[in-house]
Amino acid sequence: MEFETVIGLEIHLELQTRSKLFCSCSTAFGREPNTSCCPVCLGLPGSLPVLNRKAVELAIIAALSLQSEIQKESRFDRKNYYYPDLPKAYQISQYDRPLALGGFIEMKNEGVKRKINLERIHIEEDPGKLMHSGESIFDSDYSLVDYNRAGIPLLEIVTKPDLRSGREARLFLEELRCILLYSGSSDCRMEQGSLRCDANISLRPAGSKTLGTRTEVKNMNSFRAVEMALDYEAGRQAAILSAGGSIIQQTCHWDEGDRKAIPLRGKEGSSDYRYFPEPDLLPLILKSDYIETLAASLPELPSQRRIRLMEEYGLDPADAAILTENRSLGDLFEVAAGEYKDYRNLARWVRGDLLYLLKGNDRNPSEVAPSLLIELLTMLDEGEINRPVAKDLLANIVKNGTNPRELVQQKGLGRIADREKLQPVVEKVLAENKDAVDSIKQGRKKAFAFLVGKVMAATAGRADPEKVQKLLRELIN
Contact segment (CB under 6 A) with ligand ADP among 36-44, 56-64, 207-215, 239-247 equals 207-215
For residues 384 and 417, give the distance between their C-alpha atoms in angstroms, rounded to a whole number.
Answer: 10
Q: Residue 158 binds what, of ligand ADP, Zn ion, none (CB under 5 to 8 Å, by partner type)?
A: ligand ADP
458 near Zn ion (CB under 5 A): no
| Ramachandran angles phi, psi of 85, nearest 5° | -85, 0
21 near ligand ADP (CB under 6 A): no
Note the residue count of the chain: 477
Neighbouring-strand partners of residue 163: 7
92 near Zn ion (CB under 5 A): no
202 near ligand ADP (CB under 6 A): yes
Q: Cα–Cα–Cα angle for 273, 275, 280, nearest 5°?
A: 130
Considering beta carbons, is residue 217 or 294 the nearer one to ligand ADP?
217
Residues 6+ apart with CB under 8 A from 34: 146, 147, 148
**295: three-class secondary structure by DSSP:** helix
Beta carbon of residue 268, minimum distance to ligand ADP (angstroms, whole number): 8
457 near ligand ADP (CB under 6 A): no
Residue of the chain from 44, 131, 211, 475 that contacts ligand ADP (CB under 6 A): 211
Contact segment (CB under 6 A) with ligand ADP among 47-55, 208-216, 372-380, 390-398 equals 208-216
Cα-based distances in Å from 125 to 12, 41, 122, 146, 476: 10, 9, 10, 15, 80
Considering beta carbons, is residue 114 or 306 the nearer one to ligand ADP?
114
Q: Residue 23 binds what, of ligand ADP, Zn ion, none (CB under 5 to 8 Å, by partner type)?
A: Zn ion
Beta carbon of residue 250, minimum distance to ligand ADP (angstroms, whole number): 11
187 near ligand ADP (CB under 6 A): no
25 near Zn ion (CB under 5 A): yes
Q: How do strand 215-218 and strand 250-255 relate by DSSP bridges?
A: parallel
Q: Are 261 and 255 in contact (CB under 8 A)?
A: yes
Q: Residue 229 binds what, of Zn ion, ligand ADP, none (CB under 5 to 8 Å, by partner type)?
A: none
Q: Are 107 and 170 in contact (CB under 8 A)?
A: no
What is the tally of helices (H) and strands (E) in the chain? 16, 17
**Residue number with the shortest CB distance to ligand ADP?**
8
10 near ligand ADP (CB under 6 A): yes
Q: Residue 9 binds what, of ligand ADP, Zn ion, none (CB under 5 to 8 Å, by partner type)?
A: ligand ADP
Q: Cα–Cα–Cα angle for 55, 60, 61, nearest 5°?
A: 100
Residues 6+ apart with CB under 8 A from 421: none
Contact segment (CB under 6 A) with ligand ADP among 127-135, 210-218, 257-265, 290-298 equals 210-218
Beta carbon of residue 10, minimum distance to ligand ADP (angstroms, whole number): 5
Neighbouring-strand partners of residue 197: 11
94 near ligand ADP (CB under 6 A): no
270 near ligand ADP (CB under 6 A): yes
Residue of the chain from 201, 226, 241, 407 that contacts ligand ADP (CB under 6 A): 201
Beta carbon of residue 201, minimum distance to ligand ADP (angstroms, whole number): 5
**403: three-class secondary structure by DSSP:** coil
Cα-based distances in Å from 90 to 35, 129, 139, 152, 329: 22, 15, 27, 15, 43
Beta carbon of residue 160, minimum distance to ligand ADP (angstroms, whole number): 5
38 near Zn ion (CB under 5 A): yes
Residues 6+ apart with CB under 8 A from 394: 349, 353, 354, 357, 373, 376, 404
Q: Residue 38 binds what, of Zn ion, ligand ADP, none (CB under 5 to 8 Å, by partner type)?
A: Zn ion
23 near Zn ion (CB under 5 A): yes
DSSP secondary-structure letter at 19? Answer: B
Contact segment (CB under 5 A) with Zn ion among 3-11, 17-25, 137-145, 365-373 equals 17-25
Give all strands of the β-sheet with 276-277 in edge-to-edge order. 90-93, 77-80, 276-277
State the CB neighbour count (10 A cutoff) for residue 296: 7
For residues 122 and 112, give the distance between their C-alpha atoms in angstroms, rounded to a whole number.
Answer: 30
Q: According to CB under 5 A, which residues from 41 to 60 bind Zn ion? A: 41
251 near ligand ADP (CB under 6 A): no
214 near ligand ADP (CB under 6 A): yes
69 near ligand ADP (CB under 6 A): no
Torsion from C-alpha of 183, 187, 188, 190, nearest 10 degrees: 170
Q: Are 103 and 74 in contact (CB under 8 A)?
A: no
Binding mask 143-172 for ligand ADP (x = CB under 6 A): ---------------xxxx-----------
Beta carbon of residue 232, minimum distance to ligand ADP (angstroms, whole number): 15
Residues within the interface to ligand ADP (CB under 6 A): 6-10, 158-161, 200-202, 211-212, 214, 270
